[in-house]
Chains A and B, each alone.
Chain A
């Protein structure tokens, strides 16, 4: 890990291991996520991508060290990790379908509110929420129930929820899966827009999307880091080609 730090915020993972009753889903992984760049985690099914994120967000137990702002995330409770500024999305977009887009964002924005203020009804829409609505392009749909949103819009809402909860590290699990080409483009641009002062980690299967937007790529295979580098470096890596059972062109054409 010799990459120069683009920003001062970073998440440093050393020797992360997740053991499922003897099966090491993640085996001694070292990773450094830096501020300001779109970091893609790729790898075949079962490579341990989601498990890495699960371990970093307190969903599964992992050993090793994951340092963020002087704190070790491993062993912390999920909601405390979020309060520290590390947020995530799930493979299946989970928004509160009964609540409006605005309410979804408002709930997400509330984690630092004082308990007493929760007992009041919402008055004016918080500025942070307005801003996020603008960023994710859902302003006109603010009062619709989240349940009626299209698939892509839901994913954006999830990103918006991460924005309002002040997540400086965002783990996005297969956000563009199932999106149309235009939606993918919009998502990519959205992510580039918000990447500036944030650390964004994207788990992705879509190689085309990765090629277009990735600043940095880590390839996981069988629970270990297979290769790291820029898109070009990854595509040239013979090991990566073997893992994906094909040539560079096939990798590019969506593995």
Chain B
């Protein structure tokens, strides 16, 4: 299972170029301009809200790109971490709506109107924010430590994470008195004291979400160009070899897994004030797979691919499901099939392919540049793992 063989399948990015150039930072800057300057000025409040929702998904997608694209861990249960952040935020907002000492409405509706003790601390904003960051970190660390240290990987890892999402959603549905069950948590009034129906507050929430997306893009940009980023790719391609360099591959992967979980949680937390709801259907296996769709489409191992892919899939879903509700499932299914068959490195891989088709002046020049171009062209023909 664990051959220390050389990476046979190449990935499309060439680290030497990516790490050394600041071009990627410029691209992030462009994304920031569009999301933070252009969009608020040009889109209607409704559209902006939708875009905010896609941004929340995109934050989770950036984490998936890190874990799956760079780390080789197919995380099929990110909905769980999305849900931890989402439910933590929703609980806080629910308690805000209930007022000091109040009990969330659904508890009176489904139960006897008493609140479970573990809800109480969520009245505090700082506590809620801490849970949003630390909760997924702790859960993913324990789970990842258990799974990765035992060298469970590949499909095993993927299946276990998906099983986690199934179990999590089932648990939520069955605890209607504590978590709102199938309906989830909804009908909020304020977000940290701000009136949710105020258009300016709505825009601010959007700006925070889009800002967080840009922030996490910068974080992974730094991670990808760091020594850790190189090590992560090395671990993905030849885990055993890394072990014989004196590193524990489990620790390297664990960092990416935990970071991805925190990003998913932050995405989930921002999803709630924008969408006005969090329910099991936002966090179950199907929702987790939906998060993967954008990452696969955009290009899992590229920097911007996962985020842009998630935005595109989010847009596609609402655009299509408005007009043809059932057709969207076909689209989503076809997207997985076609991308995996024909474009496993996503749309991000089209550009280098096109460049490789056109002989450039660079490749004619002698020395290192020529070789680099050659490798790039070569890598374009091979699918990544």
Contacts and interface: CB of A to CB of B under 8 A. Distances in A.
In their complex, do chains A and B touch, with some C-beta pair under 8 Å? yes
Interface of A: 57, 77-79, 82-83, 87-88, 90, 92-100, 103, 106-108, 110-111, 113, 117-122, 143-145, 147-148, 161, 165
A97 B246 contact: no
Interface in B226-248: 226-228, 230-231, 233-234, 237-238, 241-248
Contacts of A111: 245-247
B227 A145 contact: no
A87 B243 CA distance: 11
Contact of B10 (A87, A95, A97, A108): A97
A93 B5 CA distance: 8
Given A57-B244, A119-B222, 5 more contacts: A97-B237, A100-B16, A106-B227, A110-B231, A118-B227
Contact of B241 (A57, A94, A118): A94
A118 B237 contact: no
Contacts of A108: 245
B7 interface: yes
B150 to A, nearest CB: 12
B226 A120 contact: yes
Most-contacted residue by chain A among B10, B227, B248, B372 (CB, 10 A):
B227
A94 B368 contact: no
Contacts of B248: 77, 79
Nearest to B231: A107
A121 B227 contact: yes
A119 B238 CA distance: 20
A57 B247 CA distance: 13
Contact of B14 (A79, A110, A119, A145): A145
Interface in B209-227: 222-223, 225-227
Nearest to B245: A108
B10 A79 contact: no
23 contacts: A79-B243, A79-B244, A79-B247, A79-B249, A82-B243, A82-B245, A94-B241, A96-B233, A96-B234, A96-B241, A97-B10, A98-B10, A98-B233, A98-B379, A99-B234, A103-B230, A107-B230, A107-B231, A107-B245, A110-B227, A119-B226, A121-B227, A147-B375
Contacts of B11: 98
Classify the interface of chain B: helix, strand, loop or mixed: helix
A145 to B, nearest CB: 5
B135 to A, nearest CB: 23
Given A94-B5, A96-B237, A165-B245, A118 B16 contact: no
Contacts of A110: 227, 231, 245, 247
A98 B237 contact: yes
Given A93-B6, A94-B6, A110-B227, A78 B243 contact: yes
Contact of A103 (B15, B223, B241, B247): B15
Contacts of B15: 98-100, 103
Interface in B337-385: 368, 371-372, 374-375, 379
What are the 10 closest A-B residue pairs judged by CB atoms, nearest first? Answer: A111-B246, A82-B246, A118-B228, A121-B225, A83-B246, A94-B6, A94-B241, A118-B227, A79-B248, A96-B234
A122 B222 CA distance: 11
Contacts of B223: 119
A107 B237 contact: no
A117 B246 contact: no
Contacts of B325: none
Contacts of A88: 244
A110 B244 CA distance: 12
A103 B379 CA distance: 18
B6 A95 contact: yes
Contact of A87 (B19, B244, B247, B372): B244
Contacts of A113: 227
Contacts of A120: 226-227
B29 interface: no
Contacts of A161: 245
A165 B234 contact: no
A7 to B, nearest CB: 22
Contacts of B379: 98
B254 to A, nearest CB: 11
B4 A148 contact: no
Contacts of A143: 16, 368
A223 to B, nearest CB: 23
Contacts of A144: 368, 371
Nearest to A103: B230
A108 to B, nearest CB: 5
Contacts of B375: 145, 147-148
